[in-house]
Amino acid sequence: MSKAKPKLALYWAASCGGCEIAVLAVNEKILDVAAAFDIVFWPVAVDAKVRDVEKMPDGSIDVCLFNGGIRTSEQEYMAQLLRRKSKALVAFGSCAHEGCIPGLANLNNREEIFNTVYKEGSATQPENPKNLRPLPETEVAEGTLHLPVFYDTLKTLNQTVAVDYYLPGCPPEAENILAAVTAIIEGKLPPPGSVIGKNTTVCDECPRKRNEKKIKKFHRTWEIIPDEETCLLEQGLLCCGIATRAGCGALCPAVNSPCIGCHGPNDGVLDFGARMMSALSSVIDSEDPEEINRIIQEGIPDPVGSFYRFSLAASQLRRKHRPANEKSATTK
């Protein structure tokens, strides 16, 4: 193995795994990647152990593509470990970048999530008469075994460790991954801290006809079959393309489905949902407070889910407020 080959690591934290598939979706180009890099750690594809990484000198991994948010103590440990070992840590995909769908669980705490998952009669657990829960600690003859602690709040990668680059998307599109990896190989990366992608929003790539906007009623996607030519937002669908960073080629609007915002906000925008809320409410076509409330309440029954689908964990408020007297779920 040539010493000149840069070392690459990939890791999967709190995410669905789609990002891992996305890496493979570059198809035969993956061979170029494999040829260009020395893949030192990729649990899903390569046989290497955590302790191998622990033994590496700090900063010895050139690039680490880290997907997934931070939901457990183990993920936080891995994030810190890979941060120390990597020269460039890339938050790969929406989960690491903004928390993504797992971050929407920040509308609940651990107890509520466990109730949904483990409680008898819940959607995922019809039978659990003894109300068994994962235990963080188990005593066995050889000593105490630990399960990772499940957090109340999902954090993004950069809320946990310093991040050098962000590759947006749920998952990042193959061509963008390839472009990013090529940039890394060629040393043509943007300044550290950048989101690798375009600096405009999806409308720029969307061929639909746009007019001045005035919205009298918002529709949910199943309520109407939108016209294929005109702007989906003008038809009352909550299309997030106005606020979402371009780079996907307007994939969703192209199939007559509104953009849901997976690429996150444009450069310099602090809070994706705030941008959406501000833009949309600005063009509601009413000056009557009651009618305005009705339009919003009927058309957008779930504002957090609509505007923070991918970015709740990365938003300014990060999660639902927890009153001071709420019992912390991580308490034993």
Residue 52 parent element (H or E): helix 50-55
Residue among 235, 271, 270, 268 at smallest CA distance from 253: 235
Shortest reach from residue 82's CB to other proteins, in Å: 11
Q: 86 pairs with which residues across the strands?
A: 61
230 binds other proteins (CB under 8 A): no
Shortest reach from residue 254's CB to other proteins, in Å: 15
Residues 160-179 that bind other proteins (CB under 8 A): 160-161
Residues 182-201 that bind other proteins (CB under 8 A): 199-201
Structure-block tokens of residue 111 = 């107890």
Residue 94 amino acid letter: S
Spatial contact of 140 and 65, defined as CB atoms under 8 Å apart? no
281 binds other proteins (CB under 8 A): yes
Residues 83-122 that bind other proteins (CB under 8 A): 84, 107
276 binds other proteins (CB under 8 A): yes
Structure-block tokens of residue 201 = 């929003």
Cα(232)–Cα(236) distance, rounded to whole angstroms? 7
Residues 14-53 that bind other proteins (CB under 8 A): 50-51
317 binds other proteins (CB under 8 A): yes
Shortest reach from residue 304's CB to other proteins, in Å: 5
Q: 252 pairs with which residues across the strands?
A: none
Residue 7 parent element (H or E): strand 7-12
φ, ψ (nearest 5 deg) of residue 94: -60, -35
Helix 174-186 to helix 29-36 angle, to the nearest 10 degrees?
30
Any residues with CB less than 8 A from the CB of 34 and at least 6 apart, and which? Answer: none
67 binds other proteins (CB under 8 A): no
Pick the binder of other proteins from 19, 101, 177, 203 (CB under 8 A): 203
Shortest reach from residue 27's CB to other proteins, in Å: 30
**What's the angle, vertex CA 247, arms to CA 243 and CA 249, rounded to 5?**
95
Cα(273)–Cα(277) distance, rounded to whole angstroms? 6
Pick the binder of other proteins from 54, 58, 228, 298 (CB under 8 A): 54
Shortest reach from residue 59's CB to other proteins, in Å: 15
Dihedral over alpha carbons 166, 243, 102, 78 (to 10 degrees): 10
Residues 235-254 that bind other proteins (CB under 8 A): 241-243, 246
Shortest reach from residue 144's CB to other proteins, in Å: 9
Three-class DSSP category at 53: helix
Q: Which is nearer to other proteins, 30 or 56 (by Cβ)?
A: 56
Shortest reach from residue 208's CB to other proteins, in Å: 11
Pick the binder of other proteins from 17, 77, 131, 135 (CB under 8 A): 77
Pick the binder of other proteins from 61, 170, 277, 314 (CB under 8 A): 277
Pick the binder of other proteins from 120, 223, 228, 267 (CB under 8 A): 267
In this chain, which stretch among 94-102, 111-119, 208-216, 221-229 interacts with other proteins, using CB under 8 A? 208-216
